[in-house]
Amino acid sequence: MTGTDPSAVMASDPLVIAGEEIGPRLILGTGGAPSLEVLGEVIEASGAAMATVAMRRLDPAAKGNVLDLLVSMGVRTLPNTAGCMTAKEAVLTAEMAREALETNWVKLEVIADDKMLLPDPLELIDAAEELVGRGFVVLAYTNDDPVLAWRLEQTGCAAVMPGGAPIGTGLGLCNPHNIELIASKAKVPVVLDAGVGTASDAVLAMELGCEAVLVASAITRAENPPLMAAAMAGAVRAGWMAAHAGRIPRRRHALASTSFSDMAETFAEQ
Amino acid sequence: MVSVYLNGQEMLVGAGSTVADLVASVLPGAQPARGLAVACNREVVPRSSWPAVVVCSGDRFELLAPAQGG
Q: Which fold has domain B1-10+35-70?
A: Ubiquitin-like (UB roll) (3.10.20)
ipTM of the complex: 0.94
Q: How many CB pairs under 8 A join A and B?
A: 100
Give me the pLDDT at residue B19, please: 95
Q: With pLDDT > 70 as the criterion, what percentage of chain A qualifies?
A: 97
Q: Which residues of chain A have a pLDDT value below 70?
A: 1-3, 267-270
Report the candidate in A58, A108, A80, A267 with the shortest Cα–Cα distance to residue B22. A58
Contact between residue A57 and residue B37 where contact means Cβ atoms under 8 Å apart = no
DSSP state of A267: G
pLDDT digits (tens, 9 = 90+) for A18-37: 999 998 999 999 999 999 99
- Torsional sign, CA B12, B14, B17, B21: negative
- What mean pLDDT do residues B59-66 have? 96
Chain A residues with CB inside 8 Å of B36's CB? 58, 100
Would you list the domain boundaries of chain B?
A: 1-10+35-70
Chain B residues with CB inside 8 Å of A77's CB? 66
Interface mutation target, options A37, A42, A57, A58, chain B, most CBs of B under 10 Å: A58
Query: What pairs with residue A27 in β-bridges?
Result: A214
Query: What pairs with residue B63 in β-bridges?
Result: B38
Chain B residues with CB inside 8 Å of A111's CB? none
Give me the pLDDT at residue A266, please: 73
Chain A residues with CB inside 8 Å of B31's CB? none
pLDDT digits (tens, 9 = 90+) for B2-49: 999 999 999 999 999 999 999 999 887 777 778 999 999 999 999 999
Give me the pLDDT at residue B61, please: 97
CA–CA distances in Å: residue A264 to residues A55, A199, A254, A256: 72, 44, 22, 17
CB spacing of A29 vs B39 below 8 angstroms: no
Q: Count the neighbouring beta carbons within 10 Å of the beta carbon of residue A202.
A: 33
Q: 3-state class of A108 per DSSP?
A: strand
Contact between residue A106 and residue A80 where contact means Cβ atoms under 8 Å apart = yes
Give me the pLDDT at residue A94, please: 98
Give me the pLDDT at residue B59, please: 97
From the CA of A60, how many Å to the nearest CA of chain B?
A: 7
From the CA of B46, how many Å to the nearest CA of chain A?
A: 7
Phi, psi of A3 (to 5 degrees): 165, 150
Give me the pLDDT at residue A269, please: 58
Interface mutation target, options A28, A93, A96, chain B, most CBs of B under 10 Å: A96
Report the candidate in A108, A115, A69, A112 with the shortest Cα–Cα distance to residue A91. A108
Give me the pLDDT at residue A244, please: 94
CB spacing of B69 vs A95 below 8 angstroms: no
CB spacing of A100 vs B62 below 8 angstroms: no
Give me the pLDDT at residue B32, please: 75
Give me the pLDDT at residue A64, please: 83
Q: Is A99 on the interface with B (CB under 8 A)?
A: yes
Query: Is pTM, for the whole model, over 0.90?
Result: yes
HEC readout, B4-69: EEECCEEEEECCCCEHHHHHHHHCCCCCCCCCCEEEECCEEECHHHCCCCECCCCCEEEEEEEEEC
Give me the pLDDT at residue A11, please: 84
